[in-house]
Structures are given as structure tokens and as C-alpha cells.
Structure 1
């Protein structure tokens, strides 16, 4: 017996006076305005221009996917490819013109739209925190009965691996040094600048980016795993636009997300090869420069193609795990062979100051500082754009590994555990660099500010056994680099295809195509000016992604209001139908005692279905039809091999009533009313609605008790619709009330 079922067990009450089957009329105000007085279908006109779908969420999978076979979305592929190719060719053929043009656009954005980026990130942070702390935070990424696939420690480690890239290593040294020498406000080289130098880099790699990941990840995961829709951005917008997201509107959203993701991944690849080329030149004596950087891009593409064509998913997972271990080894080496006491003291102070000043920094635009817009464009706005570009990419991965988690678990873990890991890396590298600068190492300070990649390796060379650390750091950076390249190819292929099953990925050839195109873009930006050009392009192409963020928040807010109405509607029961107010069918005391010692086999469950449950549902369906309801009673193939009955009552344009009796395997408890047990599992007949299992078992009930349970569930569904109307909860399930007359 599940814990949920035990908590809702009613007291013993004889069931001899069970009411006869009657189809309850919908409660007011729905009775007259929506369904009519006899329960017969009553057509109501609703404005076709309203921005709410006419279908309920249960129809989403059918309306979003033309067929159940995965296929390539050629329109999205073609338009996205043209945009990326044209940009790449432009930057390769006219690199100087491309760089100057992008700088002009970035300067304009920083001056005129800096406030917009800052406000958008602030709203995203507030929204995900509201989701986590609200009552709807208990909603799961999946049916109500689903549970997480991974243990907490494994899941948190995978969260960290998802959002940490080689760019963090690149900026972990140059960021603090630059902010100390040239802070956004005040004089450089002062005590105040020293206190804030590392904090700014921690801020740029802190809560903001992970909030964007959490927003898109929980939205895509919710619709994919709770409602069976594709794992895509367009599915997350279904409550706002309905089936229109399957057409040109959805294609436009996919193109924006896809182009933004490609630019984000290409930027990360470009920064990675700039950094790694220095390491390879030190270790193998190769000439550091553009040729080596392009060669490293080619290596990443070759390994991505090899992994894709050979299907070595275990190998990719092994690389990710090795990545974590190598990064941990590198950080411990720096901590214990460097200035240990100083680094630990600084780490604690950095974290405290970060949280103390976070609200002020989040809304900081430096409107009163000379050159404030230029600094914002080169630092904060670039990072906010970078996280927005990476948002769909990381969001898909987070959703894939988080099925069964509650929204509260998902958000809190995403904005805490990986962020603390980021802080550890940034603080150790940044404070190690600052220590050298504070000791008067002017040459190192200038190198770190003007050539970040060389400054990073120059810092590593100052530790004992420098070549050991340089080799370990290069290996760690290479693994970060390869993981991002391979994952980027997988996610972009998913965005450019229609994949009904969230557990499947796009075709292999499409991954190869996007890997090649992303590599071409990275090379083009390297030719046009390197890292600075990549920052410009990211800031420009991430701007449309902010619109997607607002649309996703509006869509998800609407659905969470529906979830609230659904939850609160469960407690609204008509007293004449459900005097106990509980979820479970009432049983006699003998039935309850018998259930404590009964652990049915699959054969026994099948017999009970045929002898009791199916006849009960047949009678209910017949009576509903006699009273004018649109009823469908079907058999759904179940995983146990037994067809499971599904009763569906359509209610015009509103959410249909869904009552499915499913065969569920469960472990036999170690302590039970029976002293011995012959098997390790038994089978239950659980009632499923559209949002998951009700948590109770129908085995052992009489035919009349099953009928009573159907009617009580139907009453609960009508109560949900009533509450939705009374609280003005407009959603895809419960559109606004039409005007009288």
C-alpha cells in the first residue's frame, strides 16, 4: 500500500446503502453557462483571436506532433543554417568589417538596452525562486507518482557537469585581475577594488546563469514528462498559443533557440581553443597561434563525429565523469600547494560578500559612472547574453536528468549546488592570481589583463611541479571542451527535429551536420578577431532569446495557476456523494482486513478487471451516454501485457474527465499480515487521472464501489472546473468565461 493511500484511508463504514448510478449535474455556475442543465453538451462561442488554446493539455501531444515518428524539421534546419552560414562567410571574407559592425551594434545595445538585459535576468531569478517557494513547488516533472531516476549526489554532480565550461577557466584569472586594476567604479588598485575583484567574476558565474537554465529546464521537463509533449521550447509555449506552435510560430521560436545555442556553443569552443592552444604549445612544443586553434576545432569535430557514429554513449558519460575528477584534482592541487590559508580565508569572505551584495549587483547598471555602458557591454551584459544563449542547451540536459523531481527540488538544487562549485573554482584561481599581483608581480598582472589565455598558464607555472599542473589543467580543459562540443551537437539536432519521445535524440547525421556548422562558425569568429568578436556576436544573437524567456515565464505561470486550481479543486466534494471527503473508495471493515493480507498475482488482477472493473465501467459509460454525454471507453495496452480500461468524458472545449485503471507492479512489504510470502512482487489496480496515479488500489471492491469511485472522481473534476471559473484562472484548460448572452 502506498503512503499516499494510507494517509487517506477512511474510517470503517458499511457500504450496504450505496447509491444507485446517477450522472451528477455540473455544479453552478458551470451548469447553466457551460454545460446546460441536463449535462448535455452546450456549444459556447469563444473569440478565436484569444491567445489561449481551445484544447486542453491532454491534447497537446496530438496537436504538437503530426505523427509519432521522429522526423527532421527541414524549415528550421534550412533557415537556421542560412543565418549561420551567411554570418560565417561574412566574418571570413570581411573580418575587419564584421568586427567593426558588431562592435557598433554592441555599443548601441550596451548604451540603450543594458537596462533591459539587467531587468530580464532579475525577473528570471525572481520567477524561479517564486516557483520553488510557492505551493506549486511540489508539482513533479512527471506524473504525481513518478520518482527520480538518479540519487541526489549523482544528480547534483550531473548538474555541475552540465553548466561548467572551459570559459570559466578562461575568465577565472583575467576577470579578477582586470576588475582589480580597472574596476567599474572607483580607483583601481585600492582596498575596495581588491575586495570586489573576485566577487564580480563570481557574480557573473553565479545565480543568474543557473536561474536561466532552471527556467527553461523545468518548463521543458514539465510539459515533456507530465503531459507527454516533445522536449522542446515550442512545447513549453503550448498554453499560450495552442496548436499554432506546431506551425510557423513554433518554427520561429525553434530557429531563435537554435541559432542562439549554436552561437553560445561556438563561443565556448572558440574560447576553449584559444586557451588550450597555449597548453598544447607548452606541453608538446607546438607553435601557439591561429593554425593550432583551428586544428583543435577540427579535433573536437572529429571526436564528436566518432562518438555519434559509434553510439558510444557510455564513453561520453565516462568523459563527463573523468572531467569532474580531473577538475577536482586540479583545484585540490592549487589549494594545497599554493597559499592555502589565504585561499581559504578569501573563499569564505568572497562567498559572504557575494550574498550580501547580490541584490545591489543584480540591478547595477553603472548609469552614473563614466564608461559604465562600455564596461557593462564587455562584462555583465556579455555574460547575461551568454547564459541566455546557453539556456535552451543546458535546459534540455537538466530536464533529461530530472524526471520525477519536484519543481522545488529542481530549482533549489540548480541555483545552489553548481553555483557553490563555480564559486570554489573562481575563488581559488582568482585569489591565486590576485596574490601574485599584490606581491608586486606587475608583468603577470599585465599579461593576465591583455592575454587571458597566457595569463592563465603563467599562473599555473608558478606552482610546484608546474608541468604536472599544466598537464592536468590542459586535460581538464580539453574534457570540458569535448563535452560541450558533443552535447551541443546532440541538443541542436534535437531542436531541429520533431521527436515525440523525450528520451530519444535527433538523427546521427543531423548531429554531424550541426557539429560541422558550429565548428565553421567558431573558426569564422577566430579569424574575425578571436574572443572579443565572439563576445560581440553572443551579445547580439542572444537578444531574441530574451523574448523566449518572457514567453516561457508567462506560459509556465498560466499552467501553475491551473495546477493550483486542480489541487484546490480536489477538496471540493458534494457532501451527498462523498461524506468522508477522502480520495479512497469506502470499504467495509472486512474488506480492509482482507486487503492487509492479500498480494494478488498478475492473473488474479486480470480476472478482477474482467469480472468487476470492466462491467462497472461499461455500466457507467452506458448511463453517461443515455444522459447525453460524449463518452469514450477504450482499452489501452499496458506494460504488464493486460489491456487497461480508460474512460474519457469530453466536456466541449474544456478539460476532459479521464479515469484509467492501470496494472501497477509493487514490492511485497517485509512486514505484513501474512507471515510468509511466496513472491517478491504483487500487482495493484491503481486509478490514474491525467496527472498521475491517485495512489490507491481498487482490488477487492465490489462493482458498486467501483461505480461510486468513478462518480466521486467525476465530481472532483467538475469541482476543479468550478474553482477555475470562480478564481478567474484562465489557462489552456479553463479559458475565460464567455460574456453573457
Structure 2
């Protein structure tokens, strides 16, 4: 537990909640004034920030460094593609999208930000504005924070946190009060973002439960729903990502698909499909202009921006640390390119379909002259959403399905949020682990209290105000993360170019085996060592070779260490480390890796299922080759090849003024120099 982060964040949230509950009118008026000032004076800043974030993540994805993995070079994804996309979608999309999918298009058609309402021009833009607000911008923010935190967590064995992603920029200061301040900003922004989604969710579900069960709508039912949701959140969150949250995420995706198919089949199918295609085309064509649109020349433009675009940008900023951590948590082994492209395409397409089907169904009713429905959708979005559902055949079935889908949206966000909040307020050196269960329960309860406070202080409007205000400090974090990650990618490029620019006399080793005789090569094709054989080879050949190299390094004045590491199976593995003053140290770690026996091998039979390889790991992962069967001299030669490659990397780093040392393996405590980047569960002992 990080006591200072936990206490300060809790005090801020509790103080705001008590203020909103005891003096709701004053809280609402004060926040309204603050939001008006921000919209009038800082609207351009929010717009510019999101534009730069979009550009940065696209640059990362399509650069040469897009092939870098969120983890060691040999790591591969933990989840299947469909499961991963479902979790991406469900974690980053809240029930608020259903809330705004009807009211947004109707408002933009009848009261557009520019021009006259009710015109063909306003109609063409009505749904596109909502698609824009739920499109690439928000997911780019998620991708930025997710890939930065995931990179440091899985490639450098640092905690899965914002402060770790800023270490290259801020250095050791992230361990102290500055780092705590960054964590507090991220945590408070996350709590307000999730609380806003919860508040909007219960306002919407309040109507659904009233229609289904005949309950009286109002604040009492909304608070009861919050309490009930907290109980379910605690039950699901304590089961962890691999069970409760994953199950809810997949069920969420399938229920949303079922709801969309029902609306498409029973509604105005041809109109909805035509409109969907046109909406996507209009979005693509106008996206650059909308991204930088501030309505500086429109009367009342600042008010519209504050109520719509700036609110959504603030919403994504507030949710950014939360969703970023969750996306990183489920994306180990993905490349940066794969991560970014998936994040800004798959969930965005799902968002577009939901917004377009609901929005165009609502607009169709308005175009038929149903102005009573339009007024409900504008005045009371939650009533308007259910009023639209009541117009479809089998209305009660659709209402029940939509309420279930909304409830799953809500639970997914609440579950993921509680888990991430506990991670932010705890010191967890292993990125594969989550915060303690009691801490997740604490944050689930505190977030629910904040949601209730904002409901009392004015409902959805007050939530919008609070989100816009508390997201402002998060913009600073986004700039710091971009600067820090840019520095990281320069280092990755230097490492790659250093390998390419090595002297021709040096044999390439990256991903290639050391030179073997033809007899050794033939023997390797037909042998699949057991764990016992692999450990015996370590003892008889590899350790003596590393001991000799270490001794010679020491004689020549190098600062060298020979250590032993216990892996997860209890196998003791050798590590050679040569310190390089202020530069990145040279690591040569020989790990015992289990691998499946190929179906067709040199022995032409398959008597066993797995065998064991002796792979060489550096700070960036496995070299991809096996030392089994080499002589002691060949192992020594490979160590020297690796060392020469490391020197080439350092030389290129110096020539291009690129940092070669980014961060120690662990935060917030000083790292042990023997800890390798290959597994957070390893323990190290002196040889």
C-alpha cells in the first residue's frame, strides 16, 4: 500500500463528496462557473492536446519501432484475439455511450453548433458529431498511456503505473513526492471518470428497472442501484481479470451484438445501413477539421464546446490512466503497432455501429414528425433512450436486453476501475499482480459514494462539470508521457541500429545461433533434452564458461558480477553482469525454457511432449537460440559476441545523443543489480 497516495486521494474525494452532499447548490454553481472559464479560455488547449495525442500514437504505430513488443522480444500474447478485443471494447466503453447515442444526434440536428437546426446540413452532421466524440481521439489517449505503462512494466520489469512510465524523463524524483503527486492526479482523475460513468449509468438503468419491475423512478432508486452495483462489483472484482472481469467483458460484447442485431432487423434496416455507411464516410472526410474545431467564430461556441467536445475530451483524459492500465494489463506480448491499431480500430468500429444504429433510429422518428420524442430526448436523455426502444416490435424484450447490456457495461467499468484504482494506490513490483482485495473493495465503495454525491448535487450535469475540471491536470501527464516514451523509442532505435552498424568481422547474433560444426547441427536436430539434461549442461559447460569470462573481465579491470537466479520452477540459472558506469549494464542470462517437441523432428517419432532449451536473455528478452550442445569455448565466444553487440549499441547511442540507460528494473525501491527482465517472480542470490 502506498499510504501517501491512498490518504491524499481519499481526502480529496471525500471532501468533494461531503461538499456536494451538504451544499449541493453551491457545489453546482461553483463548478458551472469553473467549467465556463475553462471552456472560454482553455478550450483550445484540450483540443490541441487530443490532436497531438492522436498524431503521436499513429506515429508510433507506423514507425520502425512499432515492432517493439510490450514485453521481451520473445513474449507472445496471453489472450486470444477475440477475447482481447472484447476486453478492449468493454473496458473502454461505458454505459454513457448508450446514454448519449440518442440525445447526441437529436441535439446536434435540432441545435447544431453552427448554422441553422433542422436542415439537411445539420442532419448530415448530427450522428457524425457523436461518432467523433466516441471515436479515435479517446482511444488514442487510452493507447498512449496503455503502451507506455505496458512497455515499462513488461519490457523493463517496472510497476504497472504512470510514474514508472515517466522515469526516463524525471529520473529518481518519481520515487518521491513528485511521483506520489503524479499518482494522485491519475488516481483522482480515474475516480471521477468512473464515478461519472456510474452516475450516468444508474440514471439510465433507473428508467429501465422502472419499466421492467414497476419501481418508482427517482434518486432513491438510483442510490439503491449504486449500492447493488457495488455489491456485484466487489464479488466480480475480487475474482481478478482472468475470471470475473473477462467473463463479464465477453458477455457484455455478445449482449451488445444481440441488441444491435435486433434493432437492425426489426427497425428501418435499409435506412440504418445506408446511414451507417454515409456516417462513416462523412467521419473519415471531416475528421481532420473536426479534430481542430474550436468554433471560435460562432456565437455561443464556447458553451457548446464545454457541453460536448470538451466534456468528452475531459472524459477520455480522466479515463485514460484507468483504461490505459487495464489495456496494458491484458496486452503483454503485443507489438506497439498491433496494440495501437487494434485500440483505435476494433473498439471504435463497434462504437460507430452502436451510435449510428441508435442515433439514426432516433433521427428517423424525428424526420417522421415525432417532435414529442425529440423533446424528451433533449430534455431527459435517459427517458428518450427508452422511449426509442418502446417503438420497436417486442418492446419489453428489447428493453430487457438493452437494460442487461447497460448493466454489463456498467459492471465492466466499475470492476475494472476498482482493480486499477487499487493498483494506483499500492506498490506492486510485479505487473502481473493486482492490488489487494480489501483495497479494491475500498475504492469500489468510495467511488460509489462520489457517484451518489454528484447525483445529489445535480445529476448528469454536475458530473460533466466535475469531469471537465478534474481532467485538466491529466493533460500535463499526457505531455510528459509522450516526451518520456519518445525518449524510450530513440533508445530502441539506437539498439537496433547499433546491431546493424557492427563491424563486418563480427558475426551477427540477434536471433541467430552461434557457429556450430556440421556434426553439432545434425545432433541438435534429433535431440530434445529433458529438464535434468538441460540443468546438467548448465553445470558442466555453461557455468564454467561464464566463470572463466567473469574472471577474465575482472582481471582486466571490469566491474563484473556472476550471480545465480532461481526461476519459477526452482531451477537455478546463471547470470553474468558487466556494469558500464552511467550506461546500461551488459546482461547475459542463460535461462531454462520449456518448449513443445515438434510433430515432425529429426528422430521421426514423438516420445515426449516438451523439451528444454537453454536460451540467452539480455535486458530486452530472449535471443531466440539454444546453447545446448555447444562446447565451452563456443559459449565463451557467444558471450563476447553479445558483449560486442552491446558496445555497438552504446556507441550508436553516443553518436546520436540517445539515452542508453532508461530505468532500473524496479520501483519505488532501489533495484538489485542481479534482477533480470525476464520474470518478476525471480529471486536473486549472490554467487
TM-score scaled by length of structure 2: 0.94
> Given that residues 565 and 720 in structure 1 are in contact (C-alpha distance below 8 angstroms), is that contact kept between their aligned partners in structure 2?
yes
- CA deviation digits over 1:654-679, x for unaligned, max 9? 10010011111112222222222321
Q: What residue number does 2:115 align with? A: 186
Shift of 1:527: 1.1
Distance in 2, Cα, partners of 1:174 & 1:310: 36
Shift of 1:579: 8.4
> Given that residues 178 and 449 in structure 1 are in contact (C-alpha distance below 8 angstroms), is that contact kept between their aligned partners in structure 2?
yes
Aligned residues: 664
Q: What residue number does 1:404 align with? A: 333
* Residues 1:120 and 2:120 are matched in the alignment: no
* Residues 1:482 and 2:419 are matched in the alignment: no
Distance in 1, Cα, partners of 2:572 & 2:332: 26
Distance in 2, Cα, partners of 1:120 & 1:109: 14
Instruction: Supply the RMSD in Å over aligned alpha carbons.
Output: 1.7
* Residues 1:538 and 2:506 are matched in the alignment: no
Q: Flag the 1:528–1:709 CA change in 2: closer, same or farther, 3 A.
A: same
Find 1:204's aligned residue among 133, 142, 157.
133
Find 2:650's aligned residue among 705, 713, 721.
721
> Given that residues 724 and 734 in structure 1 are in contact (C-alpha distance below 8 angstroms), is that contact kept between their aligned partners in structure 2?
no
Between stretches 629-638 and 426-435, larger displacement belongs to: 629-638
Find 2:182's aligned residue among 253, 260, 279.
253
Find 1:631's aligned residue among 560, 571, 574.
560
Secondary structure of residue in 1 paired with 2:584: strand
- CA deviation digits over 1:121-151, x for unaligned, max 9? 0000000001100000000001000011112
Find 1:171's aligned residue among 81, 85, 100.
100
Distance in 1, Cα, partners of 2:569 & 2:452: 53
Distance in 1, Cα, partners of 2:660 & 2:453: 45
Shift of 1:243: 2.3
Q: What residue number does 1:377 align with? A: 306
Distance in 2, Cα, partners of 1:733 & 1:418: 32
* Residues 1:162 and 2:91 are matched in the alignment: yes
Q: Flag the 1:466–1:582 CA change in 2: closer, same or farther, 3 A.
A: closer
Find 1:438's aligned residue among 343, 367, 375.
367
Find 2:603's aligned residue among 674, 681, 685.
674
Distance in 2, Cα, partners of 1:309 & 1:723: 48
* Residues 1:323 and 2:323 are matched in the alignment: no
Shift of 1:685: 1.2
Q: Flag the 1:580–1:353 CA change in 2: closer, same or farther, 3 A.
A: closer
Distance in 1, Cα, partners of 2:585 & 2:374: 67
Distance in 2, Cα, partners of 1:101 & 1:303: 34
* Residues 1:500 and 2:429 are matched in the alignment: yes
> Given that residues 511 and 625 in structure 2 are in contact (C-alpha distance below 8 angstroms), is that contact kept between their aligned partners in structure 1?
no
> Given that residues 664 and 686 in structure 1 are in contact (C-alpha distance below 8 angstroms), is that contact kept between their aligned partners in structure 2?
yes
> Given that residues 168 and 663 in structure 2 are in contact (C-alpha distance below 8 angstroms), is that contact kept between their aligned partners in structure 1?
no
Distance in 2, Cα, partners of 1:622 & 1:312: 46
Secondary structure of residue in 1 paired with 2:500: coil
Q: What residue number does 1:688 align with? A: 617
> Given that residues 573 and 581 in structure 1 are in contact (C-alpha distance below 8 angstroms), is that contact kept between their aligned partners in structure 2?
no
Distance in 2, Cα, partners of 1:551 & 1:312: 29
* Residues 1:233 and 2:177 are matched in the alignment: no
Shift of 1:605: 1.8
Q: Flag the 1:733–1:482 CA change in 2: closer, same or farther, 3 A.
A: closer
Distance in 1, Cα, partners of 2:587 & 2:38: 50
Shift of 1:242: 2.1
Secondary structure of residue in 1 paired with 2:304: helix
Q: What residue number does 2:269 align with? A: 340
Distance in 1, Cα, partners of 2:549 & 2:390: 78
Q: Flag the 1:407–1:349 CA change in 2: closer, same or farther, 3 A.
A: same
Distance in 2, Cα, partners of 1:413 & 1:728: 33
Find 2:150's aligned residue among 221, 231, 242.
221
> Given that residues 301 and 519 in structure 1 are in contact (C-alpha distance below 8 angstroms), is that contact kept between their aligned partners in structure 2?
yes
- CA deviation digits over 1:361-395, x for unaligned, max 9? 00000111111111000000000000010011111
Q: Flag the 1:620–1:458 CA change in 2: closer, same or farther, 3 A.
A: same
Q: What residue number does 1:3 align with? A: none
Secondary structure of residue in 2 paired with 1:402: coil
* Residues 1:584 and 2:523 are matched in the alignment: no
Structure 1 portions without partners, runs of 5+: 1-71, 736-741
Distance in 1, Cα, partners of 2:144 & 2:568: 33
Secondary structure of residue in 1 paired with 2:562: strand
- CA deviation digits over 1:569-601, x for unaligned, max 9? 112334445389984321222222222222222
- CA deviation digits over 1:624-662, x for unaligned, max 9? 100000110111113454311100000111100100111
Bigger relative CO (Cα 8 Å, ≥ 6 apart): 1
Secondary structure of residue in 2 paired with 1:497: coil
Q: Flag the 1:652–1:312 CA change in 2: closer, same or farther, 3 A.
A: closer
Shift of 1:471: 1.3
- CA deviation digits over 1:155-211, x for unaligned, max 9? 112211111211000000000000000001110000000000000000000000000
Q: What residue number does 1:359 align with? A: 288
Find 1:274's aligned residue among 183, 200, 203.
203
Shift of 1:107: 0.7
Q: Flag the 1:296–1:536 CA change in 2: closer, same or farther, 3 A.
A: same
Distance in 2, Cα, partners of 1:677 & 1:581: 30
Find 1:88's aligned residue among 8, 14, 17.
17
Secondary structure of residue in 2 paired with 1:634: strand
Distance in 2, Cα, partners of 1:532 & 1:625: 68
Q: What residue number does 2:681 align with? A: none
Shift of 1:539: 0.2
- CA deviation digits over 1:189-240, x for unaligned, max 9? 0000000000000000000000000011111111111111111111111111
Q: Flag the 1:232–1:602 CA change in 2: closer, same or farther, 3 A.
A: same
Q: Flag the 1:731–1:631 CA change in 2: closer, same or farther, 3 A.
A: closer
Q: Flag the 1:606–1:204 CA change in 2: closer, same or farther, 3 A.
A: same
Between stretches 604-613 and 462-471, larger displacement belongs to: 604-613
> Given that residues 511 and 623 in structure 2 are in contact (C-alpha distance below 8 angstroms), is that contact kept between their aligned partners in structure 1?
no
> Given that residues 423 and 434 in structure 2 are in contact (C-alpha distance below 8 angstroms), is that contact kept between their aligned partners in structure 1?
yes
Distance in 2, Cα, partners of 1:212 & 1:369: 28
Between stretches 523-532 and 129-138, larger displacement belongs to: 523-532
> Given that residues 565 and 724 in structure 1 are in contact (C-alpha distance below 8 angstroms), is that contact kept between their aligned partners in structure 2?
yes
Shift of 1:311: 7.1
> Given that residues 237 and 418 in structure 2 are in contact (C-alpha distance below 8 angstroms), is that contact kept between their aligned partners in structure 1?
no
Between stretches 359-368 and 671-680, larger displacement belongs to: 671-680
TM-score scaled by length of structure 1: 0.87
Q: What residue number does 2:626 align with? A: 697
Shift of 1:323: 1.7
What stretches of structure 1 move > 4 A for 4+ residues in a row? 308-313, 579-583
